[in-house]
């Protein structure tokens, strides 16, 4: 069994969001994304992969397609294949996200 402490993957970069891969298999990939104050992640998406984005710490405004919603810690959003997501830090604290994609083929890389 592979295990990980997600706190070990939290790392901030003043240049924007920093994504660190936690797990990858043939069917799934998981990344921790750290977003500093006034930062954002995305737009990101994959035409062939679904994704779930979960707020582990902080507060964010998610925009998926034309829908937009502000959420706090433990909030989550489904990003279906072909959609793009933008997660903007919505507080004065750092934002930490968990991004899980399936299948993992280059899925949900920020552009």
| Token pair in block for residue 34 | 């750290």
Sheet holding 76-79, edge to edge: 18-24, 29-35, 95-102, 50-57, 76-79
Within its chain, how far is the Cα of 63 from the centroid? 12
Domain boundaries, the chain: 13-110
Sheet holding 59-64, edge to edge: 67-72, 59-64, 84-89, 40-45, 109-110
| Token pair in block for residue 66 | 């034309």
pLDDT computed for residue 14 by the predictor: 78
Question: What pLDDT, in 10s, does the model give residues 64-93?
Answer: 989 999 999 999 999 999 999 999 999 999
Question: What pLDDT, in 10s, does the model give residues 101-110?
Answer: 998 875 444 4
- Indicate if the pLDDT at residue 97 is higher than 60: yes
| Token pair in block for residue 80 | 């279906």
Give the global pTM: 0.88
Q: Which fold has domain 13-110?
A: Jelly Rolls (2.60.120)
In total, the chain counts a number of residues equal to: 111
Question: What pLDDT, in 10s, does the model give residues 25-70?
Answer: 999 999 999 999 989 999 999 999 999 999 999 999 999 989 999 9
- 85 Cβ partners below 8 Å, 6+ apart? 41, 42, 43, 44, 45, 51, 53, 62, 63, 64, 77, 79, 108
């Amino acid at each position: 069994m592979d295990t990980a402490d997600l706190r070990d993957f939290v790392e901030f970069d003043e240049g924007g969001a920093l994504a660190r891969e936690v797990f990858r298999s043939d069917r799934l990939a998981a990344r921790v994304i750290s977003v500093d104050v006034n930062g954002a992640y995305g737009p990101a998406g994959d035409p062939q992969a679904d994704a779930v984005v979960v707020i582990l710490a902080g507060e964010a405004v998610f925009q998926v397609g034309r829908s937009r919603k502000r959420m706090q810690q433990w909030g989550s959003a489904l990003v279906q294949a072909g959609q793009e997501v933008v997660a903007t830090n919505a507080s004065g604290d750092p934002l930490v996200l968990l991004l899980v994609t399936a299948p993992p083929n280059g899925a949900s890389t920020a552009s």
